[in-house]
Homo-oligomer: A and B are copies of this chain.
Amino acid sequence: MIDVTLESVSKRFSRAGDTAAVDDVDITIAAGEFFTLLGPSGCGKTTTLRMVAGFYFPTSGRIRFGDQDVTRRPPNKRDTGMVFQNYALFPHMSVAQNVAYGLKIRKVGRAESKRRVEEALSQVHLAGYGERRIDQLSGGQQQRVALARALVIRPRTLLLDEPLSNLDAKLREETRVEIRRIQREAGTTSLYVTHDQAEAMAMSDRIAVMESGRVRQIGAPQEIYHRPATSFVARFIGRSNVLSLPVLGAGPETVTVRLPDSSQVGVAAPADHGLATGGTALVSIRPEHIGLTSATEPGVVTGRVTELEFTGMSTNLLVDVAGEAVQVAAVDPPAGIAVGDQLGLRLPRERMWLVRP
Protein backbone atom coordinates (compact mmCIF):
# COMPACT_ATOMS: atom_id res chain seq x y z
CA MET A 1 0.00 0.00 0.00
CA ILE A 2 1.38 3.38 -0.93
CA ASP A 3 1.56 5.76 1.98
CA VAL A 4 3.36 8.90 0.89
CA THR A 5 3.41 10.17 -2.66
CA LEU A 6 5.26 13.13 -4.08
CA GLU A 7 3.98 13.92 -7.53
CA SER A 8 6.23 16.12 -9.69
CA VAL A 9 6.94 18.28 -6.69
CA SER A 10 9.05 21.39 -7.29
CA LYS A 11 10.08 24.15 -4.97
CA ARG A 12 11.62 27.48 -5.89
CA PHE A 13 12.63 30.00 -3.23
CA SER A 14 13.07 33.08 -5.30
CA ARG A 15 10.69 34.24 -7.96
CA ALA A 16 11.15 33.20 -11.51
CA GLY A 17 14.32 32.23 -13.27
CA ASP A 18 16.39 30.92 -10.41
CA THR A 19 17.18 27.25 -10.06
CA ALA A 20 14.75 25.19 -8.08
CA ALA A 21 15.76 23.82 -4.69
CA VAL A 22 13.62 20.79 -5.44
CA ASP A 23 12.95 20.04 -9.06
CA ASP A 24 10.16 17.83 -10.31
CA VAL A 25 10.54 15.08 -7.76
CA ASP A 26 8.43 11.91 -7.95
CA ILE A 27 8.61 9.59 -5.01
CA THR A 28 6.25 6.97 -3.67
CA ILE A 29 6.82 5.42 -0.30
CA ALA A 30 5.00 2.29 0.80
CA ALA A 31 3.38 2.02 4.20
CA GLY A 32 5.93 0.99 6.79
CA GLU A 33 8.79 1.50 4.42
CA PHE A 34 12.05 3.05 5.54
CA PHE A 35 12.93 5.41 2.75
CA THR A 36 16.12 7.44 2.66
CA LEU A 37 17.06 10.61 0.83
CA LEU A 38 20.73 10.72 0.06
CA GLY A 39 22.59 13.46 -1.71
CA PRO A 40 25.23 16.11 -1.44
CA SER A 41 24.87 19.13 0.82
CA GLY A 42 22.39 21.62 -0.61
CA CYS A 43 20.71 19.15 -2.97
CA GLY A 44 17.23 19.73 -1.56
CA LYS A 45 16.75 17.01 1.02
CA THR A 46 15.61 19.24 3.82
CA THR A 47 13.37 21.17 1.49
CA THR A 48 11.69 17.94 0.42
CA LEU A 49 11.18 16.87 3.99
CA ARG A 50 9.74 20.22 4.93
CA MET A 51 7.22 19.98 2.16
CA VAL A 52 6.11 16.59 3.43
CA ALA A 53 5.85 18.02 6.94
CA GLY A 54 3.83 20.95 5.63
CA PHE A 55 6.18 23.86 6.34
CA TYR A 56 6.69 24.67 2.71
CA PHE A 57 4.15 24.40 -0.01
CA PRO A 58 5.40 23.02 -3.29
CA THR A 59 5.68 25.59 -6.02
CA SER A 60 4.11 22.94 -8.18
CA GLY A 61 3.10 19.30 -7.83
CA ARG A 62 1.18 17.55 -5.13
CA ILE A 63 1.78 15.48 -2.02
CA ARG A 64 -0.51 12.65 -1.02
CA PHE A 65 -0.78 10.62 2.17
CA GLY A 66 -2.53 7.41 1.15
CA ASP A 67 -5.14 8.69 -1.25
CA GLN A 68 -5.65 12.03 0.44
CA ASP A 69 -4.16 15.14 -1.06
CA VAL A 70 -2.32 16.87 1.77
CA THR A 71 -0.46 19.42 -0.31
CA ARG A 72 -1.99 22.26 1.64
CA ARG A 73 -3.00 20.56 4.84
CA PRO A 74 -1.64 22.35 7.92
CA PRO A 75 1.34 20.67 9.60
CA ASN A 76 -0.49 19.78 12.77
CA LYS A 77 -3.02 17.73 10.83
CA ARG A 78 -0.40 15.56 9.18
CA ASP A 79 0.71 13.44 12.12
CA THR A 80 4.33 13.49 11.12
CA GLY A 81 7.10 13.39 13.67
CA MET A 82 10.05 15.40 12.49
CA VAL A 83 13.60 15.67 13.71
CA PHE A 84 14.79 19.05 12.52
CA GLN A 85 18.27 19.37 11.16
CA ASN A 86 18.86 22.18 13.65
CA TYR A 87 16.88 20.36 16.37
CA ALA A 88 14.40 23.20 17.05
CA LEU A 89 14.22 22.28 20.70
CA PHE A 90 12.08 24.45 22.96
CA PRO A 91 14.61 26.40 24.97
CA HIS A 92 12.15 27.27 27.70
CA MET A 93 11.31 23.69 28.54
CA SER A 94 13.30 21.03 30.30
CA VAL A 95 14.40 17.92 28.46
CA ALA A 96 11.44 15.95 29.75
CA GLN A 97 9.01 18.73 28.90
CA ASN A 98 10.35 18.87 25.38
CA VAL A 99 9.79 15.19 24.92
CA ALA A 100 6.40 15.28 26.60
CA TYR A 101 5.11 18.15 24.47
CA GLY A 102 3.60 16.03 21.71
CA LEU A 103 2.10 13.65 24.23
CA LYS A 104 0.43 16.49 26.07
CA ILE A 105 -1.16 17.62 22.85
CA ARG A 106 -2.34 14.09 22.24
CA LYS A 107 -3.86 14.19 25.72
CA VAL A 108 -1.91 11.21 26.94
CA GLY A 109 -2.48 10.76 30.68
CA ARG A 110 0.11 12.01 33.08
CA ALA A 111 1.38 8.67 34.29
CA GLU A 112 1.43 7.16 30.84
CA SER A 113 3.15 10.23 29.51
CA LYS A 114 5.80 10.10 32.18
CA ARG A 115 6.43 6.46 31.44
CA ARG A 116 6.73 7.03 27.73
CA VAL A 117 9.01 10.02 28.14
CA GLU A 118 11.31 8.03 30.35
CA GLU A 119 11.29 5.17 27.91
CA ALA A 120 12.07 7.47 25.00
CA LEU A 121 14.89 9.13 26.89
CA SER A 122 16.47 5.84 27.75
CA GLN A 123 16.13 4.72 24.14
CA VAL A 124 18.42 7.61 23.22
CA HIS A 125 20.65 6.98 26.24
CA LEU A 126 19.57 10.06 28.11
CA ALA A 127 17.89 8.47 31.08
CA GLY A 128 18.31 10.77 34.06
CA TYR A 129 18.65 13.91 31.98
CA GLY A 130 14.93 14.76 32.11
CA GLU A 131 15.23 17.69 34.46
CA ARG A 132 18.08 19.40 32.65
CA ARG A 133 17.67 22.63 30.76
CA ILE A 134 18.35 22.25 27.08
CA ASP A 135 21.27 24.65 27.13
CA GLN A 136 22.99 22.44 29.64
CA LEU A 137 23.33 19.61 27.17
CA SER A 138 26.10 18.85 24.75
CA GLY A 139 25.41 19.05 21.03
CA GLY A 140 24.91 15.33 20.65
CA GLN A 141 22.67 15.20 23.69
CA GLN A 142 20.48 17.91 22.23
CA GLN A 143 20.20 15.99 19.02
CA ARG A 144 19.06 12.94 20.92
CA VAL A 145 16.39 14.95 22.71
CA ALA A 146 15.10 16.06 19.32
CA LEU A 147 15.01 12.45 18.25
CA ALA A 148 13.23 11.31 21.38
CA ARG A 149 10.67 14.06 20.97
CA ALA A 150 9.77 12.81 17.51
CA LEU A 151 9.83 9.12 18.34
CA VAL A 152 7.78 9.31 21.49
CA ILE A 153 4.58 10.42 19.77
CA ARG A 154 4.62 7.37 17.49
CA PRO A 155 3.57 9.35 14.48
CA ARG A 156 2.13 7.98 11.30
CA THR A 157 5.14 9.22 9.39
CA LEU A 158 8.61 9.86 10.74
CA LEU A 159 10.67 12.57 9.08
CA LEU A 160 14.26 12.41 10.19
CA ASP A 161 16.64 15.09 8.98
CA GLU A 162 20.16 13.93 9.76
CA PRO A 163 19.09 12.87 13.23
CA LEU A 164 22.38 11.20 14.10
CA SER A 165 24.87 13.59 12.55
CA ASN A 166 26.33 14.71 15.86
CA LEU A 167 26.60 11.34 17.50
CA ASP A 168 29.66 9.16 17.73
CA ALA A 169 29.80 6.00 15.65
CA LYS A 170 29.00 3.73 18.53
CA LEU A 171 25.95 5.59 19.70
CA ARG A 172 24.86 6.22 16.16
CA GLU A 173 24.82 2.57 15.48
CA GLU A 174 22.91 1.76 18.63
CA THR A 175 20.45 4.52 17.98
CA ARG A 176 19.81 3.54 14.44
CA VAL A 177 19.05 0.01 15.54
CA GLU A 178 16.66 1.50 18.04
CA ILE A 179 15.00 3.70 15.41
CA ARG A 180 14.61 0.74 13.09
CA ARG A 181 13.12 -1.38 15.85
CA ILE A 182 10.59 1.26 16.88
CA GLN A 183 9.78 1.97 13.28
CA ARG A 184 9.28 -1.69 12.41
CA GLU A 185 7.21 -2.44 15.48
CA ALA A 186 4.80 0.39 14.82
CA GLY A 187 4.96 0.03 11.05
CA THR A 188 5.78 3.73 10.79
CA THR A 189 6.54 5.01 7.34
CA SER A 190 9.84 6.81 7.57
CA LEU A 191 11.56 9.35 5.41
CA TYR A 192 15.15 9.65 6.44
CA VAL A 193 17.84 12.10 5.47
CA THR A 194 21.42 11.28 6.15
CA HIS A 195 24.83 12.17 4.85
CA ASP A 196 26.19 8.89 5.97
CA GLN A 197 26.03 6.31 3.22
CA ALA A 198 26.86 3.38 5.39
CA GLU A 199 23.92 4.36 7.54
CA ALA A 200 21.67 4.72 4.52
CA MET A 201 22.78 1.34 3.24
CA ALA A 202 22.31 -0.37 6.55
CA MET A 203 18.92 1.06 7.44
CA SER A 204 16.97 1.72 4.31
CA ASP A 205 14.45 -0.33 2.44
CA ARG A 206 14.93 2.01 -0.46
CA ILE A 207 17.09 5.01 -1.21
CA ALA A 208 16.60 8.00 -3.47
CA VAL A 209 19.80 9.68 -4.56
CA MET A 210 19.35 13.38 -5.21
CA GLU A 211 21.54 15.86 -7.00
CA SER A 212 20.78 19.59 -7.37
CA GLY A 213 17.12 19.18 -6.54
CA ARG A 214 16.52 16.20 -8.79
CA VAL A 215 16.20 12.53 -8.02
CA ARG A 216 18.85 10.61 -9.93
CA GLN A 217 18.04 7.07 -8.87
CA ILE A 218 15.66 5.24 -6.58
CA GLY A 219 16.28 1.70 -5.51
CA ALA A 220 17.20 -0.74 -2.81
CA PRO A 221 20.62 -0.15 -1.23
CA GLN A 222 22.31 -3.08 -2.97
CA GLU A 223 20.88 -2.04 -6.30
CA ILE A 224 22.11 1.50 -5.95
CA TYR A 225 25.46 0.36 -4.73
CA HIS A 226 26.09 -2.28 -7.31
CA ARG A 227 24.18 -0.89 -10.22
CA PRO A 228 24.45 2.91 -10.03
CA ALA A 229 22.56 4.55 -12.83
CA THR A 230 24.87 7.49 -13.41
CA SER A 231 28.45 8.30 -12.76
CA PHE A 232 27.26 10.77 -10.12
CA VAL A 233 25.50 8.01 -8.21
CA ALA A 234 28.44 5.69 -8.62
CA ARG A 235 30.82 8.27 -7.25
CA PHE A 236 28.50 9.51 -4.54
CA ILE A 237 27.51 6.17 -3.05
CA GLY A 238 30.60 4.74 -1.53
CA ARG A 239 33.66 5.53 -3.48
CA SER A 240 33.96 4.47 -7.01
CA ASN A 241 36.32 4.66 -9.91
CA VAL A 242 34.56 5.74 -13.05
CA LEU A 243 36.90 4.97 -15.93
CA SER A 244 36.39 6.35 -19.41
CA LEU A 245 37.22 3.44 -21.68
CA PRO A 246 37.06 3.19 -25.47
CA VAL A 247 34.21 1.02 -26.74
CA LEU A 248 35.34 -1.81 -28.95
CA GLY A 249 31.97 -3.41 -29.46
CA ALA A 250 28.47 -2.73 -28.23
CA GLY A 251 25.93 -5.51 -27.77
CA PRO A 252 22.48 -5.22 -26.22
CA GLU A 253 23.62 -6.52 -22.81
CA THR A 254 27.35 -6.30 -22.97
CA VAL A 255 29.69 -3.60 -24.11
CA THR A 256 33.26 -4.48 -24.84
CA VAL A 257 35.81 -1.91 -23.75
CA ARG A 258 39.58 -1.65 -23.74
CA LEU A 259 41.34 -1.48 -20.40
CA PRO A 260 44.42 0.72 -19.89
CA ASP A 261 46.60 -2.35 -20.21
CA SER A 262 45.07 -2.86 -23.67
CA SER A 263 43.24 -6.00 -22.69
CA GLN A 264 39.58 -6.20 -23.65
CA VAL A 265 36.72 -6.87 -21.38
CA GLY A 266 32.96 -7.28 -21.84
CA VAL A 267 31.02 -5.22 -19.33
CA ALA A 268 27.40 -5.80 -18.39
CA ALA A 269 25.29 -2.85 -19.49
CA PRO A 270 21.67 -1.71 -19.23
CA ALA A 271 19.65 -2.26 -22.38
CA ASP A 272 19.39 1.42 -23.26
CA HIS A 273 23.07 2.16 -22.90
CA GLY A 274 23.14 3.84 -26.30
CA LEU A 275 26.82 3.25 -26.91
CA ALA A 276 28.44 2.43 -30.19
CA THR A 277 31.83 1.12 -31.23
CA GLY A 278 34.38 3.92 -31.24
CA GLY A 279 32.62 5.83 -28.48
CA THR A 280 33.66 6.10 -24.87
CA ALA A 281 32.03 4.12 -22.12
CA LEU A 282 31.96 5.08 -18.47
CA VAL A 283 32.76 2.02 -16.42
CA SER A 284 32.41 2.06 -12.67
CA ILE A 285 34.37 -0.16 -10.29
CA ARG A 286 34.53 0.10 -6.51
CA PRO A 287 37.92 0.58 -4.81
CA GLU A 288 37.42 -2.43 -2.58
CA HIS A 289 36.79 -4.67 -5.57
CA ILE A 290 40.15 -3.93 -7.03
CA GLY A 291 42.72 -6.53 -6.01
CA LEU A 292 46.38 -5.83 -5.47
CA THR A 293 48.75 -8.20 -7.14
CA SER A 294 52.30 -8.31 -8.28
CA ALA A 295 51.58 -10.71 -11.10
CA THR A 296 51.08 -9.38 -14.62
CA GLU A 297 48.21 -11.17 -16.27
CA PRO A 298 45.29 -10.10 -18.50
CA GLY A 299 42.93 -7.78 -16.63
CA VAL A 300 45.69 -6.55 -14.43
CA VAL A 301 46.83 -2.99 -15.01
CA THR A 302 49.87 -1.53 -13.39
CA GLY A 303 50.27 1.83 -11.73
CA ARG A 304 52.24 3.83 -9.24
CA VAL A 305 51.02 4.54 -5.73
CA THR A 306 50.60 8.30 -5.30
CA GLU A 307 48.79 8.45 -1.96
CA LEU A 308 48.31 6.23 1.01
CA GLU A 309 45.78 6.68 3.77
CA PHE A 310 45.17 4.43 6.70
CA THR A 311 41.54 4.42 7.81
CA GLY A 312 41.38 1.69 10.35
CA MET A 313 39.60 -1.10 8.62
CA SER A 314 41.37 -0.73 5.33
CA THR A 315 44.10 1.23 3.64
CA ASN A 316 43.15 3.57 0.85
CA LEU A 317 45.54 3.93 -2.03
CA LEU A 318 45.50 6.28 -4.94
CA VAL A 319 47.19 4.59 -7.88
CA ASP A 320 48.15 6.39 -11.03
CA VAL A 321 47.30 4.16 -13.98
CA ALA A 322 48.34 5.66 -17.29
CA GLY A 323 47.38 9.13 -16.04
CA GLU A 324 44.07 8.12 -14.46
CA ALA A 325 43.90 8.17 -10.67
CA VAL A 326 42.41 4.90 -9.48
CA GLN A 327 41.29 4.49 -5.88
CA VAL A 328 41.91 1.18 -4.20
CA ALA A 329 40.81 0.07 -0.76
CA ALA A 330 42.96 -2.74 0.48
CA VAL A 331 42.07 -4.56 3.65
CA ASP A 332 45.42 -6.25 3.81
CA PRO A 333 47.91 -4.28 1.74
CA PRO A 334 51.37 -5.74 1.22
CA ALA A 335 53.50 -4.91 4.23
CA GLY A 336 55.76 -1.91 3.81
CA ILE A 337 53.92 -0.49 0.86
CA ALA A 338 54.82 3.17 0.28
CA VAL A 339 54.12 6.06 -2.01
CA GLY A 340 55.97 5.59 -5.29
CA ASP A 341 55.73 1.79 -5.38
CA GLN A 342 54.64 0.09 -8.60
CA LEU A 343 51.62 -2.15 -8.20
CA GLY A 344 49.42 -4.40 -10.26
CA LEU A 345 45.65 -3.84 -9.99
CA ARG A 346 43.28 -6.65 -10.80
CA LEU A 347 39.97 -5.30 -12.19
CA PRO A 348 37.46 -8.15 -12.01
CA ARG A 349 35.09 -8.13 -14.99
CA GLU A 350 32.05 -9.08 -12.94
CA ARG A 351 32.53 -6.01 -10.70
CA MET A 352 32.45 -3.56 -13.55
CA TRP A 353 29.27 -1.74 -14.44
CA LEU A 354 28.38 0.67 -17.18
CA VAL A 355 26.98 4.05 -16.04
CA ARG A 356 25.48 7.08 -17.74
CA PRO A 357 27.38 10.35 -17.43
Contacts and interface: CB of A to CB of B under 8 A. Distances in A.
Interface in A194-238: 195-198, 201-202, 221-222, 225, 235-238
Interface string A324-338: 000001010000000
Nearest to A198: B311
Interface stretch (A26-34, A109-117, A169-177, A267-275): A169-177
Q: Which of A39, A166, A235, A238 has the most CB of B within 10 A?
A: A166
Interface in A131-188: 136-141, 143-144, 161-162, 165-172
Given A136-B13, A331-B288, A165 B166 contact: yes
A40 interface: yes
Given A141-B42, A313-B329, A195 B168 contact: yes
A137 B170 CA distance: 30
Interface in A310-352: 310-314, 329, 331
A41 interface: yes
Contacts of A331: 288, 331
Contact of A312 (B13, B141, B197): B197
A304 interface: no
Interface in A261-318: 286, 288, 309-314
Q: Which of A143, A225, A313 has the most CB of B within 10 A?
A: A313
B201 A311 contact: yes
Contacts of A170: 40, 235-236
Nearest to A21: B138
Interface string A227-252: 00000000111100000000000000
Contact of A169 (B86, B136, B196, B222): B196
A210 to B, nearest CB: 10
A89 to B, nearest CB: 12
Contacts of A47: 138
Given A41-B140, A140-B195, A202-B311, A165 B165 contact: yes
Contacts of A94: none
A254 interface: no
A162 B138 CA distance: 12
A139 B312 contact: no
Interface in A78-95: 85-86
Contacts of A166: 41, 85, 162, 165, 195
A46 interface: yes
A155 to B, nearest CB: 22
A161 B139 CA distance: 10
A237 B41 contact: no
B312 A198 contact: yes
Interface in A8-54: 13, 38-42, 45-47
21 contacts: A38-B168, A40-B170, A41-B138, A41-B167, A165-B165, A167-B195, A168-B236, A169-B195, A169-B197, A170-B235, A172-B195, A198-B311, A198-B312, A198-B313, A202-B309, A221-B312, A238-B313, A286-B313, A288-B313, A288-B314, A331-B331
